[in-house]
């Protein structure tokens, strides 16, 4: 089965690794190391904005900063892969990333699409269906999503948002305006709240201090690590008064790499925190009626460990000549070897460590970033929770794979659980983890996972949620929110391989979906056929391109479900939805900040019935949410 190109980082930096089949998602979350916790710049930039507010705001007392103040930082609650904010190269775990590069061509095509333009014209016939052009002439509160998405802060990739040289005001040697403080200085600090990236936030002489690893109401002595004009970062030097909710992390390296931002916080409090970050994001963007939204308690796991079905570890040789596989520390290329990992499915770590030992025994040439030489760059292991299939992928710097025959023989003998072995070729120095060329080495070309009674084939780069146990909870909430009735039709936007749409086919009269990756569309249709589903059909293209054409041909959906990448809905799709105005709309979000931003536009025509948060990634600051919206009459 063909594998598809990543559309990296849901920002603009690459093609996402909503991997090939992708729900067009954050597939380069796939590509990032555990460490996306670093999209904190918008958090920090917001302080600059807030300081321009009125003197009344400046004199608020520190204990009662509004959510508005708390939330001017952008959204990313990174998981494993999200904390290494330098580049998308370290994305490893967060599989839902920005597909902007792949979608650019479609935006160009839409600008010249006569059918689309004519559809736009038709919508100007009445006030409820005014044209896209009319809609863009709304007041500033209603300005088009395209304009909003062009802002640097909203459209910047993980990499750009986290690199020090992009931060403008950020400078390790600069002293904060009006506050004399230097890097290395220590002082006592009370943590007032937690930020959307899982860090503690306190105030030193009215300046915000971001402290990873600190919890609300803790008292600590902190050491300044960097200083900006109106905020600073610090690390915990000593905790004077610990939170009653602090627990000992299971992973000793939890404070070094991404994907463990909350492992020191007990699980019930993690669930409360994830509900709160939805509230924080709404408070920041303030969509219509947001104060009255029904924010439901986060749905969590019985056992919030051993759930990740995919391990994507960088491989390097250390100074002693030993081969290591793991993740990079925050803002560096310093690799932390991970012999164990409490949130990974155990089989993924068994295969990973056994293969690392094989590479050591065979003295395999490992890629050296500085010398830009060597072969093996990354190891990827994915397991299917409900079929016991396991796929192993070697990502290499060239087509060569020394000792290939001996290596494959040892894998067959020592790792019988591995049912598929593939090689992906990604030559040279690049910010992408995956290359365009994937080759079959042994076993099957795909593995099969079962979800909600349906079977889905997964090629090496196909996107699938990292938590196979909670994904059924997530999709179950989407079904409940849609509340499809006999005879109703639904559109599955950002369809990927059809996981969401096919799960709705048993209820819907007809399911139509789309994706911009040809292989994803092909696999979605094949998965429909394999599951004997005859009322679902997927086409190549964007929703904003295909929906008007379908409507002009006589098809009008009763419901639309969207599951966008971390950057949120495409601007053209927002306008298309507002023009088509289906009765029901369900938004599955992996980023509360872009969700809240999108609701500013959608809430003009749709009522938000409720927001149900779902914990897909325990021990991290990431949060998913299912939003039920119904059209205003």
Give the per-residue SS3 of 403-435: CHHHHHHHHHHHCCCCCEEEEEECCCCCCCCCC
So what's the pLDDT on residue 110?
42
So what's the pLDDT on residue 100?
41
User: Which CATH number among 1.25.40.10, 3.40.50.410, 2.40.50.1070, 3.40.50.1000 corresponds to the domain 310-458?
Assistant: 2.40.50.1070
φ/ψ bin of 552: left (φ > 0), alpha (ψ from -120 to 50), beta (otherwise): alpha
The structure tokens 């070897």 sit at 337
So what's the pLDDT on residue 462?
85
Q: Which CATH class is domain 471-631?
A: alpha beta
The structure tokens 């190891």 sit at 379
- 3-state secondary structure at position 536: strand
The residues spanned by each domain of the chain are: 27-142, 310-458, 471-631
Contact call for residues 8 and 17 (beta carbons, < 8 A): yes
So what's the pLDDT on residue 142?
39
Average pLDDT value over all residues in the chain:
79
| Strand residues in 195-305 grouped as ranges (E) | 200-204, 207-211, 219-227, 231-241, 295-299
So what's the pLDDT on residue 90?
39
So what's the pLDDT on residue 316?
95
How far, rounded to the nearest angstrom, does the alpha carbon of residue 541 sit from its chain's CA centroid?
22
List beta partners, residue 224. Answer: 234
Q: Which of 295, 300, 298, 274 is nearest to 610 (CA)?
A: 295
| Strand residues in 305-375 grouped as ranges (E) | 310-317, 323-328, 335-337
So what's the pLDDT on residue 12?
37
Query: What sign results for the dihedral spanned by CA atoms 407, 410, 411, 412?
Result: positive
So what's the pLDDT on residue 463?
82
Contact call for residues 221 and 240 (beta carbons, < 8 A): yes
- 3-state secondary structure at position 236: strand
The structure tokens 């980082």 sit at 9
108-128 pLDDT, tens digit each? 444 444 444 444 444 433 443
Which member of 220, 315, 411, 590 is catalytic? Answer: 590
Q: Do domains 310-458 and 471-631 have the same CATH topology?
A: no
Contact call for residues 31 and 6 (beta carbons, < 8 A): yes
d(CA 282, CA 307): 29
Across the 633 residues of the chain, what is the mean pLDDT of every consecutive 10-residue run?
A: 38 38 41 41 42 39 38 38 39 40 42 42 40 40 40 38 38 55 96 94 96 96 94 96 97 89 97 96 96 98 97 95 92 88 97 98 94 95 96 96 96 98 93 90 95 92 91 95 94 92 94 87 92 96 90 93 92 92 96 96 97 97 96 91
d(CA 490, CA 503): 12
Q: Which of 294, 253, 214 is nearest to 80 (CA)?
A: 253
Per the annotation, the verdict on 590 as an active-site residue is: yes
> What angle (nearest 5°) sits at the alpha carbon of residue 157, between those of residues 153 and 160?
80
């Amino acid at each position: 089965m063909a594998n598809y190109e990543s559309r990296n980082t849901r920002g603009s930096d690459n093609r996402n690794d909503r991997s090939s089949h992708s729900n067009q998602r954050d597939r380069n979350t796939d590509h990032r190391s555990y460490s996306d916790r670093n999209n904190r710049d918008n958090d920090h930039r917001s302080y600059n904005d807030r300081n321009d507010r009125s003197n009344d705001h400046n004199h608020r007392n520190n204990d009662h900063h509004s959510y508005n103040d708390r939330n001017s930082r952008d959204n990313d609650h990174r998981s494993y892969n999200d904390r290494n904010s330098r580049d998308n190269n370290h994305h490893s775990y967060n599989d839902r990333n920005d597909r902007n590069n792949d979608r650019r061509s479609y935006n160009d095509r839409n600008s010249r699409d006569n059918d689309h333009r004519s559809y736009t014209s038709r919508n100007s016939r009445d006030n409820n269906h005014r044209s896209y052009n009319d809609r863009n002439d709304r007041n500033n509160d209603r300005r088009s999503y395209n304009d909003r998405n062009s802002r640097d802060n909203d459209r910047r990739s993980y990499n750009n948002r986290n690199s020090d040289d992009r931060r403008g005001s950020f400078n390790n040697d600069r002293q904060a305006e009006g506050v004399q403080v230097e890097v290395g200085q220590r002082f006592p600090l009370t943590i007032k709240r937690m930020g959307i990236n899982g860090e503690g936030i306190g105030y030193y002489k009215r300046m915000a201090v971001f402290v990873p690893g600190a919890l609300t109401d803790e008292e600590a002595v902190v050491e300044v690590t960097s200083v900006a004009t109106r905020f600073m970062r610090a690390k915990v030097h000593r905790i004077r008064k610990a939170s009653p909710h602090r627990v000992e992390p299971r992973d000793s390296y939890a404070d070094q790499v991404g994907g463990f931002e909350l492992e020191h916080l007990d699980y019930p409090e993690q669930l409360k925190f994830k509900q709160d970050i939805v509230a924080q994001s709404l408070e920041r963007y303030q969509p219509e009626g947001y104060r009255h939204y029904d924010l439901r308690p986060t749905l969590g796991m019985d056992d919030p460990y051993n759930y990740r079905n995919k391990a994507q570890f960088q491989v390097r040789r250390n100074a002693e000549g030993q081969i290591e596989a793991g993740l990079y520390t925050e803002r560096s290329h310093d690799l932390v070897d991970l012999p164990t990992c409490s949130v990974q499915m155990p089989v993924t770590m068994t295969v990973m460590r056994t293969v690392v030992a094989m590479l050591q025994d065979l003295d395999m040439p490992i890629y050296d970033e500085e010398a830009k030489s060597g072969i093996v760059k990354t190891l990827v292991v994915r397991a299917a929770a409900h079929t016991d299939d396991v796929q192993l992928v070697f990502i290499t710097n060239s087509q060569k794979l020394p000792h290939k025959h001996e290596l494959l023989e040892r894998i067959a003998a020592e790792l019988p659980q591995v049912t598929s072995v593939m090689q992906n070729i990604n030559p040279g120095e690049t910010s992408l983890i995956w290359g365009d060329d994937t080759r079959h080495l042994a076993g099957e070309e795909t593995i099969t996972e079962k979800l909600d009674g349906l079977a889905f084939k997964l090629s090496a780069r196909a996107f699938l949620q990292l938590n196979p146990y909670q994904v059924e909870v997530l999709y179950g909430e989407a079904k409940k929110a849609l509340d499809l009735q006999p005879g109703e039709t639904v559109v599955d936007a950002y369809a990927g391989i059809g996981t969401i749409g096919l799960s709705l086919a048993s209820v819907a009269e007809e399911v139509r979906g789309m994706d911009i990756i040809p292989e994803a569309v092909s696999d979605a249709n094949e998965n429909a056929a394999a599951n004997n589903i005859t009322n679902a059909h997927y086409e190549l293209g964007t929703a904003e391109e295909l929906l008007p054409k379908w409507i002009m041909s006589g098809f009008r959906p009763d419901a639309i479900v969207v599951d966008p990448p971390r950057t949120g809905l495409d601007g053209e799709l927002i306008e298309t939805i507002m023009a088509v105005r289906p009765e029901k709309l369900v938004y599955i979000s992996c980023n509360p900040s872009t969700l809240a931003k999108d609701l500013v536009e959608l809430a003009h025509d749709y009522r938000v019935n409720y927001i149900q948060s779902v914990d897909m990634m325990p021990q991290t600051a990431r949060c998913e949410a299912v939003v039920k919206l119904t059209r205003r009459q």
